[in-house]
Amino acid sequence: MNEPIPGQGVFWSSVGGKPYPVSLRAQSFEHLFTLRDARYNRGAGTTYAGTLRNTFTDAPTPPASAPSSASDEAEAPVDVMATIEDRAIDALRNDSVQMTKIASAEGLAWGALKAFLLVWRHVNYET
């Protein structure tokens, strides 16, 4: 009764200080499922990260006259969050109404600034 059986186990748990066994069966995931791409020669799957990367590949690049090295020739990863932030800040700087309010003695309410950025995000990325 207490002999171990291959692939079987007992997990001891307790409630209120009274231990009791919970039986379990461990199975190998590798034996249950085969690899979809065993040779790693298929394309990447469609993911949200890939969608973001494709959306922001048009980020500004350094000038062509800048010296390049062998490491620069490889495609550098795109910092998606920094690109979104830069574009949002540029949009705010180019909005004369918001900038006038910011420069005024009364300033711009934080809620109004958040609303501007939410509308900007919706117009540029969610439609």
The dihedral built from the CA positions of residue 77, 79, 80 and 84, taken in this order, carries a sign that is negative
Encoded amino acid at 17, one letter: G
Mean pLDDT of 10-34: 76
Identify the band that residue 10 occupies on the pLDDT scale cut at 50, 70 and 90. low
Q: How confident is the model at residue 93 (pLDDT cuts 50, 70, 90)?
A: very high
% of the chain beyond a pLDDT of 70: 68
CA-to-CA dists, residue 103 to 72, 99, 106, 107, angstroms: 41, 6, 8, 6
Residue type at position 70? A
Residue 69 has pLDDT above 60, yes or no: no
Q: Which range has highest mean pLDDT (33-42, 56-65, 70-79, 97-106)?
A: 97-106
Distance (Å, whole) CA 90 – CA 25: 58
Q: Span 7-14, mean pLDDT?
A: 64
